[in-house]
Amino acid sequence: QIILIPNPAKDNLRLIMNADSPSTAEISIYTQTGILAERRKIYLTTGQNTLDLSGICNKLQSGYHSILIRTDNKVYSEKFLVIK
């Protein structure tokens, strides 16, 4: 499970997710038209992980966007709203 807070977001956005074991993950952010806005690799530790995505909000226009997270054995997807 992943949580994006706050949603809707203005300037700040945090991703919270749990990992069963240490692993790497790839985060992809897509605009409301399906264009890839950003992709980055992250390293997850066992337990709760929090990632600051505030820099990404500044690059996005107002509207709905999608985040896709691929780990070694799972894929997570969530929508979020950016309001400027």
Quickly count: other Cβ atoms within 10 Å of residue 16's Cβ. 13
Q: CA-CA distances (angstroms) from residue 14 to 3, 33, 73?
A: 8, 22, 22
Q: CA-CA distances (angstroms) from residue 30 to 21, 47, 61, 78?
A: 27, 26, 11, 11
Tokens of 10: 């203005």
Is the confidence at residue 7, as pLDDT, over 90? Answer: yes
Q: Residue 65's beta-bridge partner residues?
A: 80
Read off the pLDDT of residues 8-46 as tens digits, 9 standing for 90 and up.
Answer: 999 899 999 999 999 999 999 999 999 999 999 999 999
The CATH classification of domain 2-82, taken from the options 2.30.30.40, 2.60.40.2550, 3.40.640.10, 3.40.190.10: 2.60.40.2550
pTM to 2 decimal places: 0.88
Tokens of 76: 């997570």
